[in-house]
């Protein structure tokens, strides 16, 4: 992935991004009163190679003026049929509200579709109001079966 949205570069994760990507995610979580869980729900950010790249997924970062300002990722899952889960979709507050999140989600969905997947699952927390609004306005349907402790919502979208 190497795509621009305005002057934001969305690109594939590189080893040197690990600490900066983790910092973005932990900052956004703390902004909403949610904890950073390096040994739990956020272990995948510290082990991108094993959790995403080795499993057929992808992890992207969003750069603005050489700073990482967001992340987005997905990997195949066994829930559903030919399914992936979108994970780690986080944007710093300074870059929200300009359509970047919607564009990132559309790019993830397009890449997932080209790889032949048929379902996209997303888990989130109700407190992440902007994320919930984005998913619901993008055609994701509420489901049951939350698997991540800090999440209380799960969504699915079926691809054509």
The chain-wide mean pLDDT, for the chain, equals 96
Average pLDDT over residues 118-142: 97
Q: Give the pLDDT band of residue 80 (cuts 50, 70, 90).
A: confident
160 confidence band (pLDDT: 50, 70, 90): confident
Quick one: 62 exposed, middle or buried, by C-beta within 10 A (0-12, 13-18, 19+)?
buried
pLDDT digits (tens, 9 = 90+) for 57-70: 999 999 999 999 99
pTM exceeds cut of 0.85: yes
């Amino acid at each position: 992935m190497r795509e621009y949205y305005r002057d934001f570069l969305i690109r594939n994760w590189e080893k040197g991004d690990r600490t900066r990507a983790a910092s973005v995610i932990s900052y956004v979580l703390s902004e909403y009163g949610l904890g950073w869980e390096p040994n739990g729900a956020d272990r995948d950010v510290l082990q991108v190679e094993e959790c995403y790249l080795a499993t057929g997924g992808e992890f992207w970062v969003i750069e603005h003026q050489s700073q990482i300002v967001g992340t987005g990722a997905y990997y195949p899952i066994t829930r559903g049929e030919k399914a992936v889960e979108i994970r780690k979709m986080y944007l710093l507050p300074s870059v929200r509200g300009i359509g970047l999140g919607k564009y990132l989600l559309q790019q993830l969905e397009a890449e997932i579709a080209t790889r032949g997947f048929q379902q996209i699952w997303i888990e989130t927390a109700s407190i992440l109001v902007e994320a919930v609004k984005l998913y619901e306005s993008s055609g994701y349907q509420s489901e049951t079966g939350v698997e991540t402790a800090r999440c209380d919502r799960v969504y699915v979208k079926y691809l054509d």
